[in-house]
Structure 1
């Protein structure tokens, strides 16, 4: 059974400056040494993401709870010393370990799977008494760990691992660890962006089985920004584009989930829109832009603040609508390998191309080239799609060009794209 000390040591080395190939080699060696059933937990602990973004919001530990827990173990003097020195979570745990009584020391290192299981159990504590239960779980971990382990336990608990996990670097590490082509690893990650699951599939030779499925948001196809319409050619489709937030929507009978480009779910902020999406009554994956309204169209910054509230009252004066421009999946069929014109034609029976409004789900308005030129001349924005283009998760497709629009690069809830 792998020890958590091995992971803590690896994290300490990854924090040091060094070339990417060297870091990838270190991670690959770590992965090769793990039992098969601990590869997914090990990679998730390494990245600091105990759950994929679409499954949970994280461990549910703030710096306040961490300070409270460790203060009760080592006294306020230790915390005051930490506050006077740096205030960094890893340093706090080191100071506390130095102040713990020797009777609390455990001769054996924590196991990796114990840390993973306990931190996930902590994240599932809700309701009355949850604060005390979380504190009890943290105390159990800190009482039985070394100083180095305590450092990274604290950082993982507050989602600050001390290094910036790079999906490309980790894909290279998975490739080296299990002798599979790196492009295959990256492709699987773009379909299902959970490195732990991808590593498990690489070990078992099942990378090709990772594909688009409802409820798991794939990485969006990247859009090229340019200052003018491309040269006219057959098959181009021109769509009106507003200053909205690009989202991916997964719907099925009785369920509607709306994800940002970082794959964080924002459905709880949009109950009326979610109701409208459920009303479509099909199993589908849609892509489009989210628009905010309060009287008129909200600026993107206001829409982001609206979403960051997480929960929205149904009688709120602000609301959101969705303009859909792509259909990636429909009733059991993955459509990403079909031409855009075909996906557009399949989308048409589901929605209507009307003006968007609060709580409405509409199809993007299609224009002629002359109308597109007129829209650009008046300061509008246009999306140009190649009717023969496929949907390529994580790649920059030649079939999607947005003119004069920067909303995809603006601040998003919980961060921007991790490309």
Structure 2
């Protein structure tokens, strides 16, 4: 018997009703027991907050304005919903926007009122019941009676949680073990935690690799023979935007490898150009024939000529990296166990125009998708990647422009965003022009001079510290926040959470 959408709506409500992680996991695991194999990836996507089709080409305003009669009793199954969304997303050509809206209206007519509300929220990114990826991974493990670590590792190698769930439930531990790094298929990148100083980053015993932290765009480069693919940290393919990078890596010695690094644009004096200039390659109007070339700099290698290296210690991977990549395309690094030497590297990196340093344990494996203590980033000032929740219309010379942005961080427990403050400092005229257009596209509704927006846009914010505040629900506020720049290379899921904010506050 087919699984009804009503069961998913009910499950989502029960997940949202509890703040306990273990209870959320149980609800999800029980749902897996009701699904057929084809239904699993559909439900995993829905309860992770986005349909498998991603954006379907019907905007927030259009979705919110659809008001059609609801079905009296639940009868719509999840596979029918998935098929309808595929049809809508695949509709193109002249007049397609109106056709997509009508197809969505037809789908919503078959839904009960509760199902309509769920689908509308799903399509605009508003399903925030707390079933985030970590909880979903635990639920898959519980339903399949497998170690969570095995499911987590498979999900890092295969960035499709629905497919991982199918393998776990049908093929068990042996099936998961068969999911390995595959050249030309991206894996989740390893991430870093923040350390307040070079000295504290060096508190771990043993040698560390102290590397310049570049203000570029994270890339993962795969080569198989003469085929090269380049992916962003969000696993989006951008090969056609980086043909100069493709040409460079085709000159490397091996013919099959996976590299981790950053790409950036340099000025004639060797200092990095502003981040926004590098990001121009990745926007909707980015072109591969930009006048200013971008240069890749690599700091890790995950695979070379048939040998996976992710479980090898960093020291071993660096040896392989040095044999593969010419020195001109390597991130500068110093091997040391001395805090004073790490501080010297930090100061040198800052003089060269870079963000700071990375401190990496030489004995650490590559923990794909994890933000662990094996990699620590050190910047002179506090910075966080936050999400814009709302924007205020400006006054004076900023009249007619959206100016003051409301900043928030997600609470992993609830899935909701917690406001931390506002700022308009650090914004250039070009930034004001851009954000006015951008946030009007993301507008959900207005409250006086405040435009509330979908929580999608990530912004990098520098600040002097975190202070206690009764003004905001989280009890914390940023001190002297200023905008460093927008991060179109990151999604809201990549932004820092309230836990990162609290760690700075408590530290």
The TM-score bracket by the shorter chain reads 0.7 to 0.9
1:120 match: secondary structure:
helix
Q: Which moved more, 1:225-234 or 1:180-189?
A: 225-234
More RCO (CA 8 Å, sep 6+): 1
Is residue 67 of structure 2 the alignment partner of residue 59 of structure 1? no
Question: 2:17 — aligned with what?
Answer: 16
Question: 2:490 — aligned with what?
Answer: 413
Is residue 189 of structure 2 the alignment partner of residue 220 of structure 1? yes
Q: Write out per-residue CA displacement over residues 75-128 of structure 1, whole angstroms, 9 at most, x where no aligned residue.
A: xxxxxxxxxxxxxxxxxxxxx24xx3xxx8586611111111221333233444
Deviation at 1:371, TM superposition (A): 7.4
Q: 1:221–1:392: 8 Å Cα contact kept in structure 2?
A: yes
Q: 2:303–2:310: 8 Å Cα contact kept in structure 1?
A: yes
In the alignment, the residues of structure 2 paired with residue 233 and residue 391 of structure 1 have an alpha-carbon distance, to the nearest angstrom, of 19
Q: Which moved more, 1:310-319 or 1:152-161?
A: 310-319
In the alignment, the residues of structure 2 paired with residue 382 and residue 277 of structure 1 have an alpha-carbon distance, to the nearest angstrom, of 25
In the alignment, the residues of structure 2 paired with residue 414 and residue 18 of structure 1 have an alpha-carbon distance, to the nearest angstrom, of 24
Deviation at 1:171, TM superposition (A): 1.9
Is residue 108 of structure 2 the alignment partner of residue 142 of structure 1? yes
Is residue 20 of structure 2 the alignment partner of residue 32 of structure 1? no
In the alignment, the residues of structure 1 paired with residue 362 and residue 148 of structure 2 have an alpha-carbon distance, to the nearest angstrom, of 30
Q: 1:214–1:285: 8 Å Cα contact kept in structure 2?
A: yes
Deviation at 1:34, TM superposition (A): 1.0
Q: 1:248–1:287: 8 Å Cα contact kept in structure 2?
A: yes
TM-score, length basis structure 2: 0.64
Inter-CA distance 373–46: structure 2 relative to 1 (3 Å threshold): closer
Inter-CA distance 407–208: structure 2 relative to 1 (3 Å threshold): farther
Deviation at 1:2, TM superposition (A): 0.6
Q: Write out per-residue CA displacement over residues 270-317 of structure 1, whole angstroms, 9 at most, x where no aligned residue.
A: 4543554466583322111232446652334x2585366234124445
Deviation at 1:131, TM superposition (A): 2.5
Deviation at 1:187, TM superposition (A): 2.7
Which one has a larger percent strand, Structure 1 or Structure 2? Answer: 2
Of 363, 382, 400, the match for 2:375: 400
Inter-CA distance 268–156: structure 2 relative to 1 (3 Å threshold): farther
In the alignment, the residues of structure 2 paired with residue 218 and residue 46 of structure 1 have an alpha-carbon distance, to the nearest angstrom, of 22
Q: 2:278–2:294: 8 Å Cα contact kept in structure 1?
A: no
Give structure 2 stretches of 5+ with no counterpart: 351-355, 386-459, 461-486, 498-507
2:38 match: secondary structure:
helix
In the alignment, the residues of structure 2 paired with residue 152 and residue 279 of structure 1 have an alpha-carbon distance, to the nearest angstrom, of 51
Counting matched residue pairs gives 375
Of 353, 357, 371, the match for 2:327: 353
Question: 1:84 — aligned with what?
Answer: none
Q: Write out per-residue CA displacement over residues 236-261 of structure 1, whole angstroms, 9 at most, x where no aligned residue.
A: 4443332233333334333322222x
Q: Which moved more, 1:404-413 or 1:385-394?
A: 404-413
Q: 2:207–2:335: 8 Å Cα contact kept in structure 1?
A: no
Give structure 1 stretches of 5+ with no counterpart: 71-95, 355-361
Which one has a larger percent helix, Structure 1 or Structure 2? Answer: 1
Inter-CA distance 59–393: structure 2 relative to 1 (3 Å threshold): same
In the alignment, the residues of structure 1 paired with residue 74 and residue 347 of structure 2 have an alpha-carbon distance, to the nearest angstrom, of 70
In the alignment, the residues of structure 2 paired with residue 231 and residue 12 of structure 1 have an alpha-carbon distance, to the nearest angstrom, of 45
Question: 2:331 — aligned with what?
Answer: 364
Of 248, 259, 262, the match for 2:232: 259
In the alignment, the residues of structure 1 paired with residue 83 and residue 178 of structure 2 have an alpha-carbon distance, to the nearest angstrom, of 27
Inter-CA distance 196–65: structure 2 relative to 1 (3 Å threshold): same
Query: What is the RMSD of the two structures over their aligned residues, measured on CA atoms?
Result: 3.4
Q: 1:191–1:219: 8 Å Cα contact kept in structure 2?
A: yes
